[in-house]
A and B are shown apart, each in its own frame.
Chain A
Amino acid sequence: MSIIVGEETKLVISGLTGREGTFHGMRNREYGTDLVAGVTPKKGGQDVEGVPIFDTIKEAVEEKGANTSMVFVPARFAGAAINEAIDAGVETVIAITEGIPVHDMLATYWKAKEKGVALIGPNCPGALSPGKANVGIIPAQFFDKGRIGVVSKSGTLTYQIGNELKQAGEGNSSIVGIGGDPIVGSDFIDILGLYEADDETELIVMVGEIGGDAEERAADYIADNVSKPVVAYIAGFTAPPGKQMGHAGAIISGSSGTAEAKKEALEAKGVRVGKSPTEAAQIAVEVLAQQA
């Protein structure tokens, strides 16, 4: 089935008329994604290489049946574009834009929850279901169709691991970049739950990095809710101890947020953690071979 994006995806892109928006939008379309519309206020009626442009996302939903929105507009306008997509009635919003103020995201996060919209990002590379659809900036050529689901905070690190899996003859059901911002629409646990329910996914690779406690919470979630094998990689073991401002951060998370703390939390729940992207990919291949 794959998750987040697939054959059923009908994509509308906010910011399609911009230079980057056009570039990645067309790449997504060439890959086979059903790109039905673009949205830029006051440019309704125009088109970008045959893709109709509307003034609002609502019009794109009503006239073209868009069910997934990608937000590719500058940070100052991105929060409003995400909110507009949520109100317009799409099922999924994928926000690529980097640098959206965190207080804006706080309000938007709860708005998406309330309306039952799956929000991915912001500041993420998007989602790819090989052979079906690509929404975002993930270079699809490094990923084959297959049985490993990938969920990651980091873009380039995901490409690295995907490429290692491909060289080992494995492919992916989906690849989801959740982004590394303090407030993201979907956490590891949201995506882990979707992979657990996805019949094409046999193993999950989770790519984390220092900061926050999403990996620690994922470890607890996996122990209670995920029956499929999970292999993890965490980046940032050599990162210098950041200046800690005050004590509040440590008090609430009960975790130092270091790579070591995350590795320990995951291993304590039976998740194997690779010490390099290469090793994580090797472990994934090994685990699948044992299951066969």
Chain B
Amino acid sequence: MDLLEYQGKELFARHDVPVPSGKVAHDVKAAVEAAEEIGYPCVVKAQVLIGGRGKAGGIKVAGDRAEAEAAAEAILGMDITGPHGEGPFTVHQVWIEEASDIESEYYFSFILDRSTKKVLAMLSTTGGMDVEAIAEEDPDALAKVHIDPGKGFDVAAAKELASEAGIPAEFQDKTAELISKLHDGFGAEDATLIEVNPLIVTVEGDVIALDAKVTIDNSALYRHEELAELEDDSLDDPQEQMAHEKNLTYVKLDGDIGILGNGAGLCMSTLDVVAQAGGDPANFLDAGGGSKADAVVDALEVITSDQKVKAILFNIFGGITRCDEVAKGIIEATERLDLKHPLVVRLDGTNSEEGLKLLAEAGLDNLHQEKTMLGAAEKVVELAKAAG
């Protein structure tokens, strides 16, 4: 689960990491009230889960009430596309915070490093810029340390990193103190990423986290009630919202072929073979292990609520999932939802014979059975084109 900047800053504050004071607002009126309370100059920042907000016009400095109002009006409701083509994401909230007088900008992150199975800390004096490019061109500009599991990352260890990164001696103590507190937060909040870019030194000599990118391990949310309750802003899409409510793993894509598979790997693979057959998948939907008839009905409801979908492919290889259960779900959903979409069904694995028999007996006009995954992909592409 990715946190918005302000949620990340609230998390930082819980662990005594210095952040600028600010307020979140959902509309222009509340934004102006927040700006009045915080005072000027203040910064109005779009709250979306992607980078590149500044370049997209999602961060504006306001010197007075009129400017704060204009900034909030411009930013709320705007669509921001990420630097790698992600989104667009609509801005539903802004964060208004006191402006900081910046002396220096650093880059700092903690990340769970899957390769080494350790937490990696990275610090650089070249913050606020394209750190990826710097890491590639001048790797020495980025100080890194893998933290021994079980050991903490105390102020002394953090200071060593600060010194290695070339942070000026007079700011090393405050930087190290902040980093050590962030490390406490990283473990205590079950984070898998904390990135602060920039971490700043103000003209007054204070060290502050000016941005916050935080990812929390979804599997650990059960022990973090306050995080689990945060509103999920990433579900703009009606189908994704619906799937979320029905507890299905669904990702919307822009094509016209609905896809339902069991298991994330097989489902991804199904998208790939449909694309190779010349089709455009409309979604990723993993019905999960042990899919029962009700889950299939739910899945079909989500898939067909997308008006673009012209044909649907079921690719099921039953391990725990029983194919007869899936077949029952298909039959039930066709009746309950009055489905007219062409359905291509490939059932293999546990109880596939029983499942295929049930489908044959139901005699659904719109249903086509295929024996292989590739055959099924070709068939559904053909049917979608014919329906187009």
Q: Which residues of A are at the interface with B, using a C-beta cutoff of 8 A?
A: 75-76, 99-104, 106-107, 109-110, 125, 137-139, 142, 152-160, 163, 180, 182-183, 207, 209-210, 212-214, 217, 233, 235-253, 259, 275-278
Q: Which residues of B are at the interface with A, using a C-beta cutoff of 8 A?
A: 2, 49-51, 82, 84-87, 109-115, 117-120, 122, 131-132, 135, 142, 149-150, 187, 190, 192-193, 195, 197, 213, 215, 217, 219-220, 222-223, 234, 251, 253, 261-266, 268-269, 271-276, 281, 284, 289, 317-320, 348-350, 372-374
Q: How far is A136 from B190 in the complex, measured between Cα atoms in Å?
A: 28
Chain B: minimal CB distance from A181 (Å): 8
B2 adjacent to A245 (CB under 8 Å): yes
Q: Count A-B pairs with CB separation below 8 Å.
A: 191
A212 adjacent to B215 (CB under 8 Å): no
With A100-B219, A252-B111 as known contacts, state yes or no: A156 contacts B117, CB within 8 Å: no
Q: How far is A103 from B192 in the complex, measured between Cα atoms in Å?
A: 8
A207 adjacent to B190 (CB under 8 Å): no
Chain A: minimal CB distance from B324 (Å): 14
Measured between beta carbons, the chain B residues less than 8 angstroms from A278 are 372-374
Q: How far is A84 from B265 in the complex, measured between Cα atoms in Å?
A: 31
B268 adjacent to A235 (CB under 8 Å): yes
A163 adjacent to B150 (CB under 8 Å): no
Q: How far is A102 from B213 in the complex, measured between Cα atoms in Å?
A: 18
B187 adjacent to A213 (CB under 8 Å): no
Q: How far is A238 from B270 in the complex, measured between Cα atoms in Å?
A: 9
Measured between beta carbons, the chain A residues less than 8 angstroms from B113 are 252
B132 adjacent to A247 (CB under 8 Å): yes
A157 adjacent to B263 (CB under 8 Å): yes
Task: Pick 20 A–B contacts, CB within 8 A, sort by A.
Answer: A103-B190, A103-B220, A106-B112, A139-B350, A154-B263, A160-B269, A160-B317, A182-B114, A212-B115, A238-B268, A238-B274, A241-B84, A244-B82, A247-B51, A247-B109, A249-B111, A251-B135, A252-B120, A253-B115, A275-B272
Known interface pairs A235-B265, A246-B213, A248-B110; 12 further A-B residue pairs with C-beta atoms within 8 A, sorted by A's residue number: A101-B219, A110-B149, A153-B265, A156-B261, A156-B319, A160-B373, A237-B275, A239-B271, A242-B86, A247-B195, A252-B115, A252-B120
A238 adjacent to B272 (CB under 8 Å): yes
Chain B: minimal CB distance from A22 (Å): 14
